[in-house]
Amino acid sequence: MSSAKTEQQRDIHKQLLAVLAKVDRPGDFVVSANCPVLMPGITVGELGIISLPLPKSQARELIKLCHQAPYGKGTETVVDTDVRRVWELDCDQFKITNPAWIAFVDSIVNEVKTGLGLENRKLAAHPYKLLVYEKGGFFLPHRDGEKLDAMVATLVICLPSVHKGGELIVSHEGQQREIRMDGAASGLEISYAAFYADCEHEIRPVTSGYRLCLTYNITLEKSRGKKRLAAPSYGSTTTEIAQLLDSWIETPTEIPAEDLSEDFSAPMLAITLDHRYTQDGLTVDRLKGTDRARAEVLFAAAEQADCVAHLALLTLWQNGSAEGGYDDYGYGYGRGRYYSKSYDDEDEDDEDDDDDVAGESPYIMGEVFDESLTADHWSDQQGNKLLLGEMSLHENEIVSVIRPKDWEASREDFEGYTGNAGMTLERWYHRAAIVIWPRAQQFDVLCKAGTESSIAGLQVMTQRLPQASKSQREPLRQECITFANAIINSWQVDRDMRFSYSAFQKLETVDRNLFPALLSELGDANLVRNFISRVMSRDGKVQFDKSLLKFCQQQGWEQFESELASLFEFATIDLLPRNADLMEQLCVRRDKNPERIRVCTKLVDKAVAQLIACDQETAPANNWRSRELKRSGILVSLAQAMLAIGADKPLRTLVDHALNSPSQYDLTDAHLAAIFSLESQIAKLSSPSAAITHWLEACQRELTNRTATAPQPPADFRRENKLPCQCADCRTLSTFLADPDKEQIRLPLAKQRRQHLHQAIDGNRCDLTHVTERRGSPHILVCTKTTASHQAARQIYDRDSKNLTRLLALIKKTH
């Protein structure tokens, strides 16, 4: 690695941290909420106490006592109903008579302090006006004047009064928030909103009803001077960070050659936050202190620099030798035992939990045998969870005041001495971070992170299509198509289980079978053909969903014939179940589309040929996957497919193959299971199927042979006595089994010899019970003869008899 380039990267990291440190005040510029109703007891002159929800009749009487509200225009205060149309009473023109109201307002102010990032300041609320908006009432965008010294914010408490419209719009540094005050508008709750006094705001027109609210000026108590505190302003900070990100894109993070792999080929930056969070509590709106403000700045800077940003949980996992711990636990603690300790049991209400570690580990991490650094548990700026999966990071991509290896551990597992192995230690270190990458390399980042991550990214993109304008929709669609092709080209065949080092559980990832539905939304035939030939031909877990079937129907089946045929070219056991299901999906449809039927007629021949070739190459005796394959399901799917399109010849080929392969297609578990699954369909056939008739009759003959003679119980105590072992104990047992008169034998044997006979009896399924009588020395092995073999044979006979009766009834229905 170039030393100059390395220093440049380090300098960018240092500058990012220095600029981000300027974001030293948490909070938003506006905060709002709904509250249960508390009657303030507002009394206005001769009108008396105002009822809530505000009745229309009283609203009209109240307006008669009000005056038209003015607004500030330069140094003047003027009334202009083209700018502001609202009725008001000054605070000396009404009274609040409920003593509990003061405590209620104080509780709101405490919430406002947190929301505006003023936890360390003491605030006071001063009543200002009572406002009434009737239909047509509004206030154009404006900023509040400095009504009191040290004024910091405006508080609007909207009281229960049924109305529509009248939304409060607050703007600051290009951001805009709409507060609907819906609790008060419904007449069922009190709604409030507070915002920094320097923020521009407006009231949209009321379209019906009356909007009633109390306004307060919020000031800083014990404030020196008259200068008011403005809303957090991080515009210049955002621009500085955006410029640094531009420099980083030009000189991306360099990874040491020994660590370079495909996982690190796409550039990323992970800028850590200060507080500690669990994966369940990790969304932007739940970030603490300055973390929330810094996250918002990073999101905005990433947008300016044409980058993508997400909130994620970083996890450093280390496995190594454990040193120390002797003073606390004594030598030998944990020998052959397992010890686990967690340090991140977070208290959501504790703002200082970063300094509150649940005890220190008695162990020191010695030599590190293995480690990983990953990001997972993703969410966007709006708090939406994203199933992007686990992405690998390198330490050089982490921007943090403290190096990852110096983070405080969140979890620790210790294992003591086991055999010749020494003590080992596993540790997990968690940090929340804003992870950023260039938008231009979005596809590379997600594709390298894995197929599930890519699909999740594509889902986010396609969800933007309906909201996009007409001019933007087609370019976005083409971008999605390009990304979808990149996913197809980098598709990784799914592994059965994926585990995260951050927790011993299966990772939360998007379902791969969402991908076909996304392709259908994009509506590109070439993309679908590429997916069928390049993905489905390799990955047997990917399904052909209903939306894709509908798309192919609309486009014309012959467009996809060669790609569908490619699925049946290789004798791969992984593809058999999915391909059989696919044949059923393609053939068993209500439409009589001749084009589809022609394509399906060609495909069923290939499907049968694929099954035969696969069965010949993967004999069950030496292939566990072949043994576990549920062949009855394959027979059912293929038979249903061929019956649906009248393909009797390939069905006969399929049946003959299955009948001629008894080691793979058991009469009961494969043939009869399939036939009985198809029973209702076979019974309703409009015309006889020669293949089905042949199949039923072949199974009938076999069942008739099996049930010709019922198994008879043994006439005496003679039992099957062929044991492969010829040791003295096994010969004694064999002689006992062959004895027609002896039911039980008692053998005083040492433990090892008893264990040998236990294994011989169970392994050869001898008709014996065998228990140890633990009296005397050596203990006595007691073996007693049973009729287990006869009982098993009788169960099979009864089963076969019932199956034969059922089969004969079905055959009768087909004639």
Block residue for tokens 């049968």? 608
Peptide bond into 713 cis (omega under 30): no
102: phi then psi, degrees, rounded to nearest 5: -60, -45
What 3 state SS string does 593-651 have? CHHHHHHHHHHHHHHHHHHHHHHHHCCHHHCHHHHHCCHHHHHHHHHHHHHHHCCHHHH
For every residue of 63-89, DSSP letters joined together read: HHH-EE--EEETTEEE--TTTEE-EEE
3-state secondary structure (DSSP) of residue 495: coil
Q: What counts of helices (H) and strands (E) characterise the chain? A: 25, 33
pLDDT class for 53, splitting at 50, 70, 90? Answer: very high
The set of residues, in sequence order, having a beta carbon less than 8 Å from that of 141 and lying 6+ positions away, is 169, 171, 200, 201, 202
The set of residues, in sequence order, having a beta carbon less than 8 Å from that of 709 and lying 6+ positions away, is none
**Strands (DSSP E) found in 298-397:** 307-324, 338-342, 363-379, 385-386, 391-392
pLDDT digits (tens, 9 = 90+) for 398-434: 999 888 888 888 888 877 665 556 788 888 889 999 9
Please list, residue by residue across 383-420, b when 16 or more beta carbons sit within 10 angstroms of its beta carbon and e when fewer do: eeebbbbbbbbbebbbbbeeebeebbbbbbbbbbeeee
SS3 content of the chain, % helix, strand, coil (to 5): 45, 25, 35
282: phi then psi, degrees, rounded to nearest 5: -100, 90
Q: May I ask the CATH class of domain 30-220?
A: mainly beta
- What percent of the chain shows pLDDT beyond 70? 87
* Section 521-550 average pLDDT: 92
Position with higher pLDDT, 8 vs 315: 315
Please list, residue by residue across 649-688, b when 16 or more beta carbons sit within 10 angstroms of its beta carbon and e when fewer do: ebbbbbbebbbebeebbebeebbbbbbbbbeeebeeeeee
pLDDT digits (tens, 9 = 90+) for 687-716: 888 999 999 999 999 999 999 999 999 999
Say if CB 380 and CB 464 are below 8 A apart.
Answer: no
The two structure tokens encoding residue 738:
């062959």
pLDDT of residue 403: 86
For every residue of 798-811, DSSP letters joined together read: HHHHHHHHHHHHHH
Q: Would you kindly state where each structural domain of the chain is located, as residue ranges?
A: 30-220, 238-346+361-450, 603-711+791-815, 728-786
* Section 167-180 average pLDDT: 89
CATH of 728-786, one of 3.30.310, 3.40.390, 3.40.50, 3.30.1370: 3.30.1370
pLDDT digits (tens, 9 = 90+) for 721-758: 999 999 999 999 999 999 999 999 999 999 999 999 99
Amino acid at 84: R
Least confident of 121-130, 161-170, 683-692: 683-692
